[in-house]
Amino acid sequence: MLYKSRIAFRATIIGLAGNIFLFTIKFIAGVISGSLALLSDAINSLTDIAASVAIFICVRVSDKEADEGHPFGHHRAEPIAGLIVAILAAVLGFEIIRISIERLINKATISIGFFSLVVPVVTVVTKSIMAWYLKRVGSSVNSPAIKASAFDSLNDVFVSVAAFVGILGASQGYYLMDPIAGFLISIWIIYTGYRIGVENIDYLMGRSPDRVFMEHIENAAKGAPGVKSLNKIRAHYVGNFIHVEMHIAVDKNLSTFDSHAIGEDVEKRVERFDAIEKAFVHIDPM
């Protein structure tokens, strides 16, 4: 658990540093050129910075040991971070839409230089690397917050491509392409926020793992010596970890000690899955 926490912590710091760098160059280029597409992309990076900070805090909180007030730990802190990302994305996305419409109506002109054209290219390369890295880390440590950040980084690649097309068109005199690109970017930001929000709300509401994973759990329990059948099984997410509750049938003629030993064996078999933090086994003598 400690090893995974260190990996998650390092990934969060790398993501934060990358987003600060990209926000800085995009904001400078956007201010110099007046490009709404670049400024929209910069705002998108600003949400990424806020998300990285939120993820950093929540990863640290979720790693805290269980206490009297939180007997099952603090793992729900990570989906909260993902939900914060979603809300920020939606709010800023609608603000960019408003600005885009104003510029389309006013037909504002902008000044595009070489630096403004290079910035989206740098962003595409950087974000592609970040998306690959964060996805790998998020999957290895089963972190919904880091996986959300990886998904967001991949989206940023497409956002920067749209920004590049918009400012390239504006540099050739097609000035309306810039606010149009800004508008399209904002729609994508809102959609991304929606996707991340739905996923993390599911985690907070304790959704069940998928059917395939549940079958793996069932097979692990049924494979324990002394288990006659599996009468009932339920599982739900507590943050990014899973708690499992099951009823197993054992021979009614077994002693209490032997029945308990079978239950402990089942718990150990089920808890071997990395995503499962705790298994609760009830004994049904039959």
Q: Name all domains of the chain by residue range, CATH numbers in brackets.
A: 2-204 (1.20.1510.10), 211-285 (3.30.70.1350)
- Asked if 51 and 81 count as a contact pair (C-beta separation under 8 A), the reply is yes
Predicted local distance difference test score (pLDDT) of residue 268: 92
Predicted local distance difference test score (pLDDT) of residue 262: 92
Predicted local distance difference test score (pLDDT) of residue 5: 67
Predicted local distance difference test score (pLDDT) of residue 126: 92
- Asked if 142 and 275 count as a contact pair (C-beta separation under 8 A), the reply is yes
Predicted local distance difference test score (pLDDT) of residue 143: 73
Phi, psi angles (nearest 5°) of residue 281 = -115, 125
Predicted local distance difference test score (pLDDT) of residue 201: 84
Which residues in the chain show pLDDT less than 70? Answer: 1-5, 55, 58-59, 61-77, 108-109, 144-145, 239-240
Predicted local distance difference test score (pLDDT) of residue 66: 62
Predicted local distance difference test score (pLDDT) of residue 179: 82
DSSP 124: H
Residue 32: C-alpha distances to residues 28, 90, 96, 138 (Å): 6, 26, 18, 36
State the distance between the two ends of the chain, measured CA to CA, in whole angstroms: 38
Q: Show Cβ contacts of residue 170 under 8 Å, excluding neighbours closer than 6 positions.
A: 35, 37, 110, 112, 177, 178
Predicted local distance difference test score (pLDDT) of residue 276: 85
Question: Which of 2, 285, 7, 3 lies closest to 146 in space, CA to CA?
Answer: 7
